[in-house]
Amino acid sequence: MSVLTNVIESLGRATLLLMICVGGNVVTAAECDVACDDLTDAWTCDGCGTSPAEPDCFYDRMTGSLAESGILFQSNITQFYTGTVDGGFEQTDLYGGHGDYLGIFDFGKLGVQEGLFLQVRAEHRFGRSITEPSGVFLPPTITADLPVVDSRDLYLTNFLITQALSESFVVFGGKLDTLDGDKNAFAHGRGVRQFSNAALVANPVALRTIPYSTIGFGFATLLDGEPLFSFTLLNAVDTTDSFGVDELFAEGAAISTELRVPTNFLRKPGHVLLGGTWSSRNFAALDQDPRIVFPTVAIDRKSDSWSLYFNTDQYLVTDPRDASRGWGFFTRGGISDEDTNPIAYFLSAGIGGNSPIRGRENDTFGVGYYYAGLSDELAPFIATVAGNLGDGSGTELFYNVQATKHVTVTPDLQFLNPGRDTVDDVVILGVRVNISI
């Protein structure tokens, strides 16, 4: 694994360095000559030292130069090798993954408009996820199922323009993905940095009303650079596979709003988040959605849908030198419109944060439990194609090892109750490898 990791990281660095040289004006001509003439020796070019312990020095200086100029590129390749070792539909092991490519442009630093930003994200998936063999409705490795079910094409899921009108107020609009909502210090991370299971990445009661990727507009108030209150008006249907202009509000509109208040219980940092969603869409069927895998089935036609939810995160132990480093607990809960939403209520809780093991402070860990209550109104419709259903639950444990600056390796164990009479409780064991450049 270390050889493969080094190859991939080197390719990523080489590509970035060549882009810098071709673009010019970001670094000096001499630095470009060094980078392009000998990429192997470029890491230790003048000013970075020559120690073998500093192989990332030149790369960091180049990315730092880009960031100072107002351009930031990030990429994450997340790979999952996961197996159902007991229960589920079948015992098998599968390999799958997800590519995430993010660009952020600060037009203030670029000399165009102060406070103007553009965020562009492209995503794709590859291989197969363990969701189908496990027989569960909430994907055990949510990232491996995004952005589109059964497609391995590259999709533009974000093209978001943000304008800061002051240090505490911003407006935004464009195409955006919603996975970054319902933020939590210990149970978030897009299924890459922390938990993998969809139920522990975000609150599933909101997924019926809020599409994964679509056009939206809104505003947010900030406190110390973090969103305090946000309001977003969205197209009611998912348009991951198109830009969405032609479909804008054709089937209604959706609203999402969140208030995330910082707390200081026990003189330690934390947050309380309250959120709500509403959609004017006319619901006549359960749709295919990579975030919650219920079968496509017709239901009684209903207009409008809503959800209310909360989450908390609270540090119990913090590093005296860095208050953002430590570990604590989290909770989530929510209710929704049972006439349109297959998940009527949801609860989860757990602990997580930085490893308490001396010398492994950059490692992270988490233990989480969730309970998803099925809608009594929709259960009979789903049962026509999926058998008798009940409430589902699950537990996930992970330990995220910071193997190198750009590589994390995460063993993961899950015990899941699918809530289906025809499917036994499933045990899922796997490993996640993330390469970030």
In this predicted model, what pLDDT tens digit does every residue of 288-339 receive, in sequence order? 677 877 767 766 677 889 999 999 999 999 988 887 799 999 999 999 998 8
- Give the number of domains in the chain: 2
**20 and 97, same structural domain?**
no
Residue 21 pLDDT grade (very low, low, confident, very high; cuts 50, 70, 90): very low
φ/ψ region of 223 (left if φ > 0, alpha if ψ in -120 to 50, else beta) reads beta
* pLDDT of residue 162 exceeding 80: yes
Single out the residue in 52, 69, 86 at which a domain terminates. 69
Single out the residue in 29, 52, 69 at which a domain terminates. 69
Q: What is the pLDDT of residue 13?
A: 46
pLDDT digits 0-9 by tens, 77-99: 999 999 999 998 888 999 999 99
Q: What is the pLDDT of residue 235?
A: 94
**311 and 222, same structural domain?**
yes
**81 and 32, same structural domain?**
no
**75 and 60, same structural domain?**
no
* pLDDT of residue 284 exceeding 70: no
Q: What is the pLDDT of residue 437?
A: 86
Supply the range of the domain harboring residue 265. Answer: 70-436
Residue 204 pLDDT grade (very low, low, confident, very high; cuts 50, 70, 90): very high
pTM to 2 decimal places: 0.83
Q: What is the pLDDT of residue 259?
A: 98
Q: What is the pLDDT of the chain when averaged over all its residues?
A: 84
* pLDDT of residue 127 exceeding 90: yes
* pLDDT of residue 202 exceeding 90: yes
CATH of the domain at 231: 2.40.160.180
pLDDT digits 0-9 by tens, 215-246: 999 999 999 889 999 999 999 999 998 887 88
In whole angstroms, give the CA distance from residue 299 to residue 285: 5
Average pLDDT estimate for 41-50:
41
* pLDDT of residue 9 exceeding 50: no
Residue 32 pLDDT grade (very low, low, confident, very high; cuts 50, 70, 90): very low
Q: What is the pLDDT of residue 322?
A: 83
**53 and 78, same structural domain?**
no
Q: What is the pLDDT of residue 33?
A: 47
Higher-pLDDT residue of 359, 54 = 359
Q: What is the pLDDT of residue 41?
A: 43
Q: What is the pLDDT of residue 26?
A: 41
